[in-house]
Structure 1
Amino acid sequence: MKAKRFRPYSAANIDSITQLKRLPKSQLREMQAVAKILPFRTNNYVVEELIDWSRIPEDPLFQLTFPQPQMLHKSDLRRITELLATETGYSPEQLKSEQYRIRTAMNPHPAGQLQLNVPEEEGEVLHGMQHKYDETVLFFPKQGQTCHAYCTYCFRWAQFIGNKELQMASGEVEPLIRYLDRHPEVSDLLITGGDPMFMRSSVLRRYIEPLLRHRPGNLQTIRIGTKSLSYWPYRYLSDKDSDDLISLFHEITTAGYHLSIMAHFTHIRELSTLAVEAAIRRIKETGAIIRCQSPIVRHINDDASMWAEMWRREVQLGMIPYYMFIARDTGPKAYFDIPIAETLKLFSDAYRQVSGLARTVRGPSMSAKPGKILVDGITEIEGEKYFVLKMIQGREASWVNKVFYARYDPKASWITELKPAFGERCFFFESNGRGSRTPLKQLRNAAMEAIPEAAISIHRK
């Protein structure tokens, strides 16, 4: 495989992408305005090998990686565009004020990530970690707080806008090891970001090797969440430290841990290049398993036949279809929004097209505040339609696999927009939270208010 040198593109050098010159200047200005609010980053592999430039702006991979004017409200887009077009130049204070106003209205950290998931030990907040479900701890290494390219729908977009108060990151592995030792219920560690695979292998080793030496708690599985197979497969092939990275994967599996690469494939075209095929083969040779997941989003992959084709291709390449998610209620969700009822139909239509080997996939699933909520179907009882929902993971272990119902709403696209069925005043999980003294509904309301207040304090400083 011929080596390829990584070349990133951001809002600062978006003008250097020659393929964009075919767009009207007005649209390019609007894209630059959106990139002042939402993070934008792509690279030469995406630009040269994934996007069909004859189909822009409708091309799914272009929609996936480049800012679109419709991602902002018309008035917000107009305001930012006007600021950038001012001949005398805009003041940094003006732009910062507008950025703050627009971003804080976009629910920067959904599902109570900062308020409910960050653990404490002996009164100390363990920054850069999350522990929402008993079995799984998330760890965010500080050097992995970026990606080879950003997805326009990314629910962790707030990690990439330069606001450290909204970032989840840690540069120390020792607190993680102590926490795992003290929590024997944890079997899985998910190293996430950003994208841990953006780090040099020598940096990743500084986090992994102490785990292999100490073997903390009851840790059995190390997961690595990454989009690198889609956006930069050369990470495993021809980067200067790709051989050492593959060697590290070998060391993890040889040490007796199950290594699971949690790959994000959003569209079949991400599985179409020789580079991604070679990268997948090389990872599998280490004994690692690759599991594939993605949200379903408007403009990019709202096509049942494409999903079926993608799942079949994943199986063919030796990977495991794992999750179809409903996009979280954050960022430019209105642009990508698909109602729950339509999402369920798309999933079912795709599911019917594949064999049992691809039906390992679960979905559509909402990673919401109480847990992962599967939309299992639609049923009719005494002439009324209801959503059949199942809690497949929860803050409370007793919630797992619990089936419950919501009144059918053809427009609802998130659990907070649904109402309980059969006259119930609230869903079962809205009465308490994991390790909480405060009812979950109150925690939810408090969490929604906390981020804007934090952002206000930063803005005033």
Structure 2
Amino acid sequence: MQKCDITNLPDAEFSFIPENAPKFATYTLKNFRNIQQLKHLPEDVVSAIAVVGHVFPFKVNSYVTEKLIDWGNAPNDPIFTLTFPQKGMLLPHHYEIVQALLAENAPKSKLAKAINQIREELNPHPAGQLEFNVPKLNGQKIDGLQHKYNETALFFPSEGQSCHAYCTYCFRWPQFGENDDLKIATNQIENVIAYLKHHTEISDVLITGGDPLTMSAKSLSKYVLALLSEDLPHIRTIRIGTKTLTYWPYRFLTEKDSEQLLDAFRMIVRSGKHLALMTHFNHPVELETPEVAEAIQRIRETGAVIRTQSPIIRGINDDAKIWSALWKRQVSLGLVPYYMFIPRDTGAQHFFRISLVRAWEIFKEAYQHVSGICRTVRGPSMSTNPGKVQVMGVCEVNGQKVISLQFLQGRNPDWVLRPFFAEFSESAFWLSELSPAFGQESFFYEEELAELTKPIEDDCLEAVC
């Protein structure tokens, strides 16, 4: 694969020929050494994949290995870092524990116990996902549903709790492990519909995972038809969170139910509801192939809108030129830049994170080098327990250097777009590492947040949200 000049990408050419589609091959811990290109990498790099891959989920496929990774630049290639576990993703003492157990060929039960303990120490469900976001109906929790912000509910269909390949930064990594206690999923759409009927403030349903587009078109259509029910007129937007365009664009081109999948999209649009595909593109390389360009065109022809988002990730896209090129490329293909995120405080965040101030500097520089049509993007944003917090910048107030912040979403909608300030810090990576400016004891929302996230013990129809 040729190295990509991210500053001067060619115009898309819709020249994909279906007969050229490679056979889908998946590589996991069981068979990843069959990837021929790995034989040219140092053994310590390859062995680290096996060690770290026992803690974090690892899966990659033939499209990624053949079309996206520049093996001449591996292991420093950004897509390689994005999809193959690295030694630094585990803290040194965690790495040593797993490495030693594998070396001694420890019993499976002993290995599993150690791995589960490590996973528990890595904050598997950040931002109160299990404690505060799972709603109740008649006192019973609704499995596979989250309701944190008034207008938006997240639905996790059990058939879609996988991906075509796994991102090493993914904050949903517990969804792919063996521990069912850490998973969020359901196939009981009836309970979800019942909850939605009682909560007419919800206008948007996000079908998420994993990646819901790993499920069959038949399964997706079943859920879509339920959401299009006449009993849910307040549901105006259906979102589908996916990285399928990046990792397996043939899902929209050559699979046996590709056309049925696109028909499901058309069904949503023709019903009068808005369909938004919430896609993840982390680097311009992911938008280079004719396959992805053709898949994008076919999706857009259904009437769906494709919005794009990505965290800012050290070693992958922590460069303003990469972001400006990414946004420009997306717009040229008809996509809508939506979010730049800060990596969540879970899993291997220590490996991927950059400071909040540096993330804002990169965002600002990239934003300055794109036209207004790209400036639909918002960020850098943290998805925290109280809500989505945007880093607005560094400024000086009354002679004091501070970080300006605001909520883009909040557990209380009244918090949204209210500016607040933190003491300047070049070493803060997350909201919890910031201190209120001007000698204040707490941020304005903290007292109310404590009340909102108190456990609800009595039976009620309200979500803990």
Please state which band the TM-score falls in when normalised by the shorter chain. over 0.9
Kindly provide the CA deviation profile for residues 141-198 of structure 1, in whole angstroms up to 9, marking residues without a partner as x: 0011110000000001011111111100010211121111111111000000000000
CA distance in 2, matches of 1:103, 1:317: 39
2:318 to 278, 302, 305: 302
CA distance in 1, matches of 2:318, 2:48: 25
2:342 aligns with: 326
Unpaired runs of at least 5, structure 1: 441-461
2:108 aligns with: 92
What is the CA-CA distance between 1:298 and the residue it aligns to?
A: 0.3
Tell me the amino acid that sits aligned with residue 25 of structure 2: R
What is the CA-CA distance between 1:92 and the residue it aligns to?
A: 1.2
Task: Say whether residues 1:355 and 2:371 are aligned partners.
Answer: yes
Tell me the amino acid that sits aligned with residue 212 of structure 1: L
Cα separation, partners in 2 of 1:335 and 1:209, compared to 1, 3 Å: same
Say how many residue pairs are matched: 438
2:62 to 12, 30, 44: 44
2:190 aligns with: 174
Cα separation, partners in 2 of 1:437 and 1:203, compared to 1, 3 Å: closer
Q: TM-score, length-normalised on structure 2?
A: 0.92
Contact 1:221 1:258 in 2 (8 A): yes
CA distance in 1, matches of 2:198, 2:303: 29
1:283 aligns with: 299
Task: Say whether residues 1:111 and 2:127 are aligned partners.
Answer: yes
1:399 aligns with: 415
- The alignment partner of 1:378 has SS state of strand
1:183 aligns with: 199
Cα separation, partners in 2 of 1:215 and 1:236, compared to 1, 3 Å: farther
What is the CA-CA distance between 1:437 and the residue it aligns to?
A: 6.7
Kindly provide the CA deviation profile for residues 283-333 of structure 1, in whole angstroms up to 9, marking residues without a partner as x: 000000000000001011001001000100000000100000001000011
Kindly provide the CA deviation profile for residues 110-130 of structure 1, in whole angstroms up to 9, marking residues without a partner as x: 000010000001111001000
Tell me the amino acid that sits aligned with residue 165 of structure 2: A
Contact 2:78 2:316 in 1 (8 A): yes
- The alignment partner of 1:30 has SS state of helix
- The alignment partner of 1:57 has SS state of coil
Task: Say whether residues 1:387 and 2:414 are aligned partners.
Answer: no
2:360 aligns with: 344
2:4 aligns with: none
Kindly provide the CA deviation profile for residues 398-429 of structure 1, in whole angstroms up to 9, marking residues without a partner as x: 11111111111100010000001111111122
CA distance in 2, matches of 1:215, 1:24: 59
Q: Structure with the greater relative contact order (CA < 8 A, sep ≥ 6): 1 or 2?
A: 2
2:383 aligns with: 367
The answer to which of 409-418 and 8-17 deviates more is 8-17
CA distance in 2, matches of 1:6, 1:386: 51
1:410 aligns with: 426
Higher helix share: 1
1:273 to 284, 289, 312: 289
1:75 to 78, 89, 93: 93
1:212 aligns with: 228
- The alignment partner of 2:241 has SS state of strand
CA distance in 1, matches of 2:117, 2:199: 40
Task: Say whether residues 1:15 and 2:56 are aligned partners.
Answer: no
What is the CA-CA distance between 1:85 and the residue it aligns to?
A: 2.1
Q: TM-score, length-normalised on structure 1?
A: 0.93
- Show the 5 A alignment for 1:414-425: 414-425=430-441
- The alignment partner of 2:388 has SS state of strand
% identity of equivalent residues: 48
What is the CA-CA distance between 1:72 and the residue it aligns to?
A: 1.0
1:451 aligns with: none
CA distance in 2, matches of 1:79, 1:345: 38
What is the CA-CA distance between 1:439 and the residue it aligns to?
A: 9.8
Kindly provide the CA deviation profile for residues 360-390 of structure 1, in whole angstroms up to 9, marking residues without a partner as x: 0000000100001011111112332101101
Tell me the amino acid that sits aligned with residue 65 of structure 1: T
1:458 aligns with: none
CA distance in 2, matches of 1:8, 1:295: 25
CA distance in 2, matches of 1:207, 1:325: 29
Contact 1:263 1:293 in 2 (8 A): yes
What is the CA-CA distance between 1:249 and the residue it aligns to?
A: 0.5
Unpaired runs of at least 5, structure 2: 1-16, 457-465
2:12 aligns with: none
RMSD: 1.4
Contact 1:29 1:81 in 2 (8 A): no
Task: Say whether residues 1:312 and 2:309 are aligned partners.
Answer: no
